[in-house]
Amino acid sequence: MRDVLIAPSILSADFARLGEEVEVVLDAGADVVHFDVMDNHYVPNLTVGPLVCRALRDHGITAPIDVHLMARPVDRLVHDFAAAGATYISFHPEATEHVDRTIGLIRELGCKPGIALNPATPLECLNFTLEKLDLVLVMSVNPGFGGQAFIDSSLAKLAAIRARIDALGRIAGNEIRLEVDGGVKPDNIRRIAAAGADMFVAGSAIFGAEDYAGVIATMRKEIAAAG
Ligand code: DX5
Ligand code: ZN
């Protein structure tokens, strides 16, 4: 099985001690920092912007930062986050005017492009785009808040995208990640892995626990058990 990436969402971290929280969760075994950007328009919540991403880099965080844009206008934020040290930048296709242009812009600025799909977003937007992406982010809750329940129809969606990525992989040798975001917990992560995800966002399940390392280790064990 290919390597899997655990990406704690800082949405559930203690923002008053963000640098320390990110250091601690990476030391606890996380691979990637998931960075949720909400604008109070595209989603009904307001979080953090490029200044905070830059602050984490300046604090010494060298792990990949996975910026999940739930905000408009997308392209201007892409410039700002690329300059602020983002590694991945994912956006929701309905939030931008020109999906292909946004993918190209993210790539041009040296970041890894991803498309984020809401629970009711069909897969058509992956036509003509999938081969240009480094990441497909499947939202398994409606975007806007941490701590929501996993939506089960996401499993079928993950499996369908996994098949498309694998089909493409045989042709192009691609490295496209399939990320799941929302309601991921130790007790459902095995089913999610079996459906084909290889990058796992978890906010409340990790930051809501006393022992980050314990939760991450349990998640890895469950993923491995999925085979
Ligand atoms: C929701 C965010 C998620 C969220 C996940 O809009 O995109 O990244 O923080 O949080 P949990 O794991 O608590 O569902
Ligand atoms: Zn997210």
- Report whether residue 86 contacts ligand 1, using a CB cutoff of 6 Å: no
pLDDT of 80? 98
Provide the sign of the torsion angle of the four alpha carbons 161, 167, 170, 173, taken in this order: negative
105: tokens are 């812009």
Q: Is the CB of 143 under 6 A from ligand 1?
A: yes
Domain residues of the chain, as ranges? Answer: 5-225
Q: Please say whether the beta carbons of 12 and 204 come within 8 A.
A: yes
Which ligand is closest in space to the CA of residue 38? 1
Q: Give catalytic residues, as residue numbers.
A: 36, 181
Atom of ligand 1 nearest to the CA of 34: 8
φ, ψ (nearest 5 deg) of residue 219: -60, -45
CA angle 109, 112, 117 (to 5 degrees): 120
Q: Which ligand is nearest to the CA of 12?
A: 1
- What tens digit of pLDDT does each residue of 159-187 get? 999 999 999 886 666 689 999 999 999 99
Are 31 and 64 within 8 A, CB to CB? yes
- 44 CB within 6 A, ligand 1: no
What is the pLDDT of the chain when averaged over all its residues?
Answer: 97
pTM over 0.85: yes
CATH of domain 5-225: 3.20.20.70
The two most distant CA atoms of the chain are separated, in Å, by 47
Predicted confidence at residue 169, as pLDDT, reads: 80
Residue 183 CA: nearest ligand 1 atom is 14
Q: Is 8 in the pocket of ligand 1 (CB under 6 A)?
A: no
